[in-house]
Amino acid sequence: MAMAIRVFLLLLFFLSSTNIGFSLFEDQVGLMDWHQQYIGKVKHALFHTQKTGRKRVLVSTEESVVASLDLRHGEIFWRHVLGTNDVVDGLDIALGKYVITLSSDGSILRAWNLPDGQMVWETSLQGSKTSKSILYISKNPKADKDDLILVFGKGSLHAVSGIDGEVLWRKDFAGESIEVSHIIQSTDKIYAAGFVGSSKFYVYGLNADTGKLLKDDHTILPCDTFGELLSVSGDKFVVLDKMRSKILTINIKNGEISYKQKLISDLIKDSSGQAVILPSRLPELFALRIDSHVLTIKVTNEDDLVLVDKINNAAAVSDALSISEGQHSFAFIQHEGSNIHLFVKDVNDWNGDLLKESIIIDHQRGNIEKIFINNYVRTDRSYGFRALMVMEDHSLLLVQQGEIVWTREDGLASVVDVTTSELPVEKEGVSVAKVEQNLFEWLKGHVLKLKGTLMIASPEDVVAIQALRLRSSEKSKMTRDHNGFRKLLIVLTRAGKVFALHTGDGRVVWSILLHTLRKTEVCEHPVGLNIYQWQVPHHHALDENPSILVVGRCGPSLAAPAALSFIDAYTGKELNSLRLAHTIAQVIPLPYTDSTEQRLHLIIDIDRHAYLYPRTPEAIGILQREFSNVYWYSVEADNGIVRGHALKSNCIHKIVDEYCFDFRDLWSIVFPSESEKIIATVTRKSNEVVHTQAKVMTDYDVMYKYVSNNILFVANAAPKATGEIGTATPEEAWLVIYIIDTVTGRILHRMTHHGCQGPVHAVFSENWVVYHYFNLRAHRYEISVIEVYDQSRADNKDVWKFVLGKHNLTSPISSYYRPEVTTKSQSYFFTHSVKAIEVTLTSKGITSKQLLIGTIGDQVLALDKRFLDPRRTLNPSQAEKEEGIIPLTDSLPIISQSYITHSLKVEGLRGIVTVPAKLESTSLVFAYGVDLFLTQIAPSRTYDSLTEDFSYALLLLTIVALVAAIFVTWVLSERKDLQEKWK
Amino acid sequence: MASTRSLILFLLIQLCFSVLPLSFAQSPATGSTEGYTIYGRVKIPSVGTKEYILPGKISNVKVILNGGQRVTFLRPDGYFSFHNVPAGTHLIEVAAIGYFFSPVRVDVSARHHGKIQAALTENRRGLSEFVLEPLRDEQYYEVREPFSIMSVVKSPMGLMVGFMLIVVFLMPKLMENMDPEEMRRAQEEMRNQGVPSLASLLPGAARSN
């Protein structure tokens, strides 16, 4: 009986579990996933606080985001992520209700409704040449009249109506080759001022209503100029000369151009550095940076320059803010150790400070790059100021009354690379009281949940249940859990900051601004390249903390000097940093670790040397042992060459460096440049585990997977068809696919898709590759799958061979053997454009796989690999159906419940990363773009654990009921026995 | 040669889609000769009982040309436009949370001054007017079944209890229907073989026997 019950229970459990998982119920949102919204580094900010009601700040960022933020909490009211090449150049408010953005090099002008972000109108501005773009909105003093929007872009000046975006008039300056840098409006005239070349200064006067050219004037300055022209007031400009030793003051009063010049050395003695005019717009003033000082210089009515003040260690200067009639103020920041001082001064009254505050800002945020100020009226009718600061790590801070009101970690909008780290192991010795408390809480929670399932919960209970689920104290703990759901996601951002995010709730555990990736005089444009797991201690080095390697370079070119940083993954402290003497072209993590579990890495430079890290004798020893087993490849996409390399010997240098090696080319594949161009390469992940080597077919035939770590997928497109869709005809487009063994350089498979073009997104896993491309003939996207099988082991399916030991399974598999491979492939239509494609990874590789497809709509779709099985046929046989082969359809299904991002968007999606959990059925998926999103998915459902929803209370109740029933039946059966005996 | 080829191509496209010649929304670009303008409209029916998109709230809908080359947004009335689009065959996609839109193949003809033909790629249906409507709503969540007795009964625990009840109350009934002679023989046999009965499994069974 008991046995029967157990079997029955087990069976039932399996039956019932088939209904669970895969998709999500609406009330499960936020249980296993989190979503964070960002905007990126702020470029322009405008406060909108005049009206009563919601106070907001409008921003445009380097991630092409236009957003409206709540000034009280920093939350997003609305946000629009524009296209990647639709860079916002100008932001302003028109008519007090529209946000105007100018983007795409001054060719697209859009108006957004201020309260809700609805686009009101969009105007495309025509022009013939590229030029810098300027957005100028003339604030009409008469409220009833339309605001005139003046845009200079594409070499012409446009006047656009603020109400409906209609272009009122257009004046083309393309013929004059003038680079307009300023637009000035006086009552009914518009002046466009700019340079032709670098010394001819032109001013054009136009009629504001018709755009008719009224007059033009020009003057030739005595010397070439440097940098931007800065407007000091309506008709005065300053600019530096080419030598950066003189300041030219240009006045265009009444259309007459006059200029004066003054040596900087007359203003300030003993200055040696290069001067730069800061772009802050201040009335009658301008700011000049020399060395670490900022000089504020007043331009008098007679165009004389008077030095007003010299500020030491100034970091940022804001634009002027008009606080009342004729009163302007501006803010600047002074650094002093970890403190920063914020000064707000009246432009005309230099002696007093309107505001002087000192704030302590976490030094991991770096310097202040930009500051925007806004004023408010205090209860005592005096002016208060709030300042919005953009930090070096791209975060955004609002400071008011000497306090940081809110911060936004907007550096996380530009994640460059991601890796993970395990959390520390839980320390033993938990107090009994805690357990009791937990047990009570646990029971209470489950009783509540039971109420929920039985639908007898009151609304308060429902709220409590939801809160309980979301809080789930377990998931945000800082220790390793049994299932491996809790990890640290370590992300490198474009600002050179490394963040550790907790996978449970997405909070920032630690963050560090790497000094090797900070902008210095030596390193003008540092870029973070990659992040690697440097040390992953388990087994014998458990007391060591894991560490992370961050690779960076000074500038985008390969020849720029490089730097390495090593960071402790638990504490976020930098352990070590190296400025390398050599360059970095490629970093190869080797599959070997030393006694402290530090992974060996080879760094290849552009001069064909390989350097070994860590630089320890032990590492050399390990590498010497494996010397002949180290292979790698390099792809030269521009030349269409793929090369294979191996280590040769120590470097022959003047200085002996035993960590430096020369390498030789083993093979090279040169693709014909007139017909093929490399557009995508993808290889298998080194940490992927393959569980089964063979695949049993429906006819009990065995196919052996060709599983190799040294396998490369290359997609080449026809040179004419490398552009966007719509630029090539099907006749001149083709796609050639190669699968290459990277040790021998042997081409295992080659296939041509005629009439197809890129972009190609591909993912390689086990023995198959899946890739997405565009079919021009059908004018639809396609996804193809290629599976590679090993034919040389195909004879091993006879049982007798195994019995007699005649199989060749034990013979070593080497890349030097000529592999006999067969491939199977199939193609399907796919509806959407794709931004990224990835595959789930599980710890043992037993669970079936799902493809994760980041669509153009910034959603992530999970698609079962079974849909991409080359064995699919139109009418599968009974046996094939039993095996789970889906009948062939021409397109892949899009099941909306299998969007793992459910109703959320990962705006600006750039990449998807999967991390296996310890629990075999589950893997963590992290999608990043402007937003971040993390969830857990179980491609074959959670067959190895109970779901979150499992009702323990109901189980307990059932057990109690069963025990009671047992006793009842016992009593009954005893009574019956007695009756039997009396008979 | 080139012109004949394009003519053939044109005919081919016509054949492929076997739809009536379409003519709408054509607009030769004013002034500039480098491209044409594609005007269109996205219509989302407001009858649907949607929670995530309020009817008429279309500020988060994006229209994407050629897989991300250009992105534009909808005006309050649902209209959108792409300017300076070169002649050729293009692809327009609509990204809207909660709705499934088919991508649209758009042919901009250079010979007919930017005449535009459009067809849905999912079902190869030609559009006589450039109005894009969702093919279907997208439901991202499973719908929770309302509470019913059946769901409790069907749950593993419910089935367990049900099975138990059957054993307790139906089995004796079955036993009763058996021939008493046979029954006695069977019981005798069982006792002789010493097969543990249910009673003997329980504590105190030894005493009762």
Do the strands A547-554 and A368-377 form a parallel or antiparallel pair, or are they unpaired? unpaired
Work out the angle at residue A348's Cα, subtended by the Cα atoms of residues A347 and A353, and round it to the nearest 5 degrees.
65
Of A239, A233, A197, A241, the closest CA to residue A218 belongs to A197
Q: Residue A628's pLDDT is what?
A: 87
On whether residue B130 sits in a domain, the answer given is yes
A463 touches chain B (CB under 8 A): no
Per CB-CB distance under 8 Å, the chain B contacts of A24 are: 140-142
Which residue did the predictor score with more confidence, A417 or A456? A417
Whether residue B155 lies inside any domain: the answer is yes
- The answer to whether A528 and A417 are in contact (CB under 8 A) is yes
What residue ranges in A221-313 does DSSP mark as E strands? 225-233, 236-241, 246-251, 258-263, 276-277, 285-290, 293-299, 305-312
Give CA separation, B26 vs A76, A122, B23, B36, B75, in Å.
39, 19, 7, 9, 19
Q: Has residue B26 been placed in a domain?
A: yes
For the segment A845-866, what is each residue's pLDDT rounded down to a tens digit? 888 899 999 999 999 999 999 8
CB–CB contact A780 B68 (8 Å): no
User: Is A12 at the interface with chain B, CB within 8 A?
Assistant: yes
Task: Decide if pLDDT at A834 tops 90.
Answer: yes
Do B72 and B46 fall within a single domain?
yes
Q: Which two tokens stand for residue A547?
A: 């560490």
Q: At what angle do helices A952-982 and B156-165 cross, to 10 degrees?
A: 10
Quick one: pLDDT at residue A811? 59
Asked if residue A193 lies in contact with residue A184, where contact means CB atoms within 8 angstroms, the answer is yes
Q: Which of residues 687-706 of A touch B (CB under 8 A)?
A: none
Which residues in chain A have their CB less than 8 angstroms from residue B167's CB? 1
Percent of chain B with pLDDT over 70: 67
pLDDT greater than 70 at residue A4: no
CA A773 to chain B, closest CA, distance in angstroms equals: 11
Interface touch B201/A1, C-beta < 8 Å: yes
Q: Does A236 touch chain B (CB under 8 A)?
A: no
Could you tell me the pLDDT band of residue A437, with boundaries at 50, 70 and 90? low
Residue A88 CA to residue A375 CA, distance in Å, equals: 26
Residues of B in contact with A974 (CB under 8 A): 199, 208
Cβ partners under 8 Å of residue A381, min gap 6: none
Residue of chain B minimizing CA distance to A906: B97
pLDDT attached to residue A721 = 87
Lowest mean pLDDT among A161-165, A485-489, A584-588: A161-165
Measured in angstroms, the CA of A692 and the nearest CA of chain B are apart by 33
Q: Is the pLDDT of residue A9 over 80?
A: no
Asked if A970 and B105 come within 8 Å (Cβ–Cβ), the reply is no
Chain B positions in Cβ-Cβ contact with residue A1 (cut-off 8 Å): 167, 198, 201
By percentage, how much of chain B surpasses pLDDT 90? 8
The shortest C-alpha distance from B129 to chain A (Å) reads 20
- pLDDT confidence of residue A144: 53
For chain B, what is the mean pLDDT? 71
Per-residue model confidence as pLDDT tens digits over A457-470: 677 777 777 776 66
Assigned domain for B205 exists: no
Choose the final residue of a domain: B137, B153, B172: B137
- Taking a C-beta distance cutoff of 8 angstroms, is the pair A271, A290 a contact? yes
Question: Considering CB atoms only, which of A9, A86, A833 is closest to B156?
Answer: A9
Is the CB of A78 less than 8 angstroms away from the CB of B147?
Answer: no
* Residue B132 lies inside a defined structural domain of this protein: yes
Please check whether residues B121 and B33 belong to one and the same domain: yes
**pLDDT score of B55 more than 70:** no
* Residue A140, pLDDT above cutoff 90: no
Taking the C-alpha atoms of residue A800 and residue A806, their distance in angstroms, rounded to an integer, is: 8
Residue B76 with chain A: CB contacts under 8 Å? 118-120
Residues B157 and B90 in one domain: no
Q: Is the pLDDT of residue A953 over 90?
A: no
Looking up residue B110, the CATH number of its domain turns out to be: 2.60.40.1120
How close, in Å, is residue B68 to chain A by CA atoms?
Answer: 7
In A37-131, beta strands by DSSP E: 42-48, 56-61, 65-70, 76-81, 88-94, 98-103, 108-113, 119-124
CB-CB under 8 Å, A831 with B102: yes
Is the confidence at residue A286, as pLDDT, over 80?
Answer: yes
The rounded distance, in Å, linking the Cα atoms of A808 and A793 is 7
Tell me the C-alpha to C-alpha distance, in Å, between residue A112 and each of A27, A52, A67, A289, B73: 33, 20, 10, 36, 10
pLDDT at B49: 46
Q: What is the mean pLDDT of chain A?
A: 84
CA dist A426 to A46, A441, A980, Å?
Answer: 48, 21, 61
Chain B residues with CB-CB distance to A781 below 8 A: 103
ipTM for this model:
0.84
On whether any CB of chain A is under 8 Å from the CB of B67, the answer is: yes
Beta pairing class for B36-42 and B131-132: parallel
With a pLDDT cut of 90, the percent of chain A lying above it is: 30
Q: Which of B71, B106, B165 is best to mutate for the A interface (most A CBs within 10 A)?
A: B71
Of A368-377, A773-782, B200-209, the range with the highest mean pLDDT is A773-782
pLDDT of residue A708: 86
At A432 the pLDDT is 44
* pLDDT for A805: 60
What pLDDT score was predicted for residue A838? Answer: 94
The answer to whether A832 contacts B93, with C-beta atoms less than 8 Å apart, is yes
Across the interface, whether the CB atoms of A858 and B152 are under 8 A apart is answered: no
Interface of B with A in 92-131 (CB under 8 A): 93, 95-98, 100, 102-103, 105, 121-122
H or E segment and range at residue B25 = none
Same domain, B92 and B162: no
> Are B133 and B160 found together in one domain?
no
Whether B132 and B152 map to the same domain: the answer is no
Q: Inform me whether the C-beta atom of residue B27 falls under 8 Å from chain A C-beta atoms.
A: no
Q: The tokens of A668 are what?
A: 């090279």
Chain B residues in contact with A731 (beta carbon < 8 A): 5
Whether A174 contacts chain B with CB within 8 A: no
Residues B100 and B173 in one domain: no
* Residue A428 clears pLDDT 70, i.e. is over it: no
Per-residue pLDDT band at A551 (split at 50, 70, 90) = very high
Q: What letter would DSSP give residue A291?
A: T
What gap in Å lies between CA A858 and CA A910, rounded to an integer? 9
Q: Which residues span the domain enclosing B149?
A: 144-193
What does the pLDDT read at residue A832? 92
pLDDT of residue A454: 65
Domain-embedded: residue B208: no
A916 forms beta bridges with A923
Give the model's pLDDT for residue A419: 94
Say which range, A87-91, A624-628, A760-764, A947-951, has the weakest mean pLDDT. Answer: A947-951
Residue B167 DSSP one-character state: I
pLDDT digits (tens, 9 = 90+) for A511-542: 999 988 888 877 888 888 999 999 888 766 56
- Give me the mean pLDDT over the A73-101 stretch: 89
Domain count, chain B: 2
How much of chain A, in percent, has pLDDT values that exceed 70? 90
Residue A888 vs residue B45, higher pLDDT: A888
Is B25 among the domain residues?
yes
Same domain, B79 and B104: yes
Q: Using an 8 Å CB-CB cutoff, list chain A residues near B83.
A: 124
Nearest to B88 among A727, A835, A972 (CB): A727
For testing contact with chain A, the best of B6, B79, B107, B157 (most A CBs within 10 A): B157
Tell me the nearest-neighbour CA distance from A766 into chain B, angstroms.
29
Q: Which residues of A touch B163 (CB under 8 A)?
A: 5, 8
As a whole number of angstroms, the distance between CA A150 and CA A157 comes to 7
User: Which positions 347-406 of A are in contact with B (Cβ < 8 Å)?
Assistant: none
Residue A833 with chain B: CB contacts under 8 Å? 64, 67-68, 91, 93, 103
Does the beta carbon of B52 lie under 8 angstroms from any beta carbon of chain A?
Answer: yes
CB pairs under 8 A between A and B: 188
What is the rounded average pLDDT of the residues A688-699? 82
- β-strand pairing of A747-754 with A213-220: unpaired
Q: Look at A726 and B66 and tell me if their CB atoms are within 8 Å.
A: yes
Minimal CA separation from B207 to chain A, in Å: 11
Indicate the residue of A122, A969, A974 with minimum beta-carbon distance to B72: A122
CB-based contact A605:A586 (threshold 8 Å): no
Q: Give the pLDDT of residue B174.
A: 76
| Cα A951 to Cα A953: distance, rounded to the nearest angstrom | 5
| Contacting residues of A for B96, CB less than 8 Å apart | 857
Chain B residues inside the 8 Å CB shell of A12? 156, 159-160
Phi, psi (rounded to 5 degrees) for B166: -60, -45
Read off the pLDDT of each residue in A958-975 and give the average, rounded to a whole number: 89
> Contact B76/A78, CB-based, under 8 Å?
no
Mean predicted confidence (pLDDT) in A480-503: 90
Split at pLDDT 50, 70, 90, the class of B196 is low
- Statement to judge: residues B65 and B127 lie in one domain: yes
Across A312-321, A591-600, B199-208, least confident range = B199-208
**Nearest Cβ partner for A974 among B100, B164, B208:** B208
For A124, which of B83, B100, B201 is closest by C-beta distance? B83
Is residue A584 a contact partner of residue A564, using CB atoms and an 8 Å limit?
no
In a domain, B199, yes or no: no
My answer on whether B129 and B157 are in the same domain is: no
* pLDDT tier at A643, thresholds 50, 70, 90: very high
Give the tens place of pLDDT for each residue, B119-174: 888 888 888 888 888 888 888 888 777 667 777 777 777 787 788 778 777 877 77
Q: Are residues B77 and B120 in the same domain?
A: yes
User: What number is the average pLDDT over the span A684-707?
Assistant: 83
DSSP three-state, residue B197: coil
Considering only alpha carbons, which residue of chain B is nearest residue A5? B160
Contact A833 B199 (CB under 8 A): no
Same domain for B10 and B103, yes or no, is yes
Put simply, the answer to whether A970 touches B86 (Cβ < 8 Å) is no
pLDDT on residue A566: 93
For residues A488 and A421, is the Cβ–Cβ distance under 8 A? yes
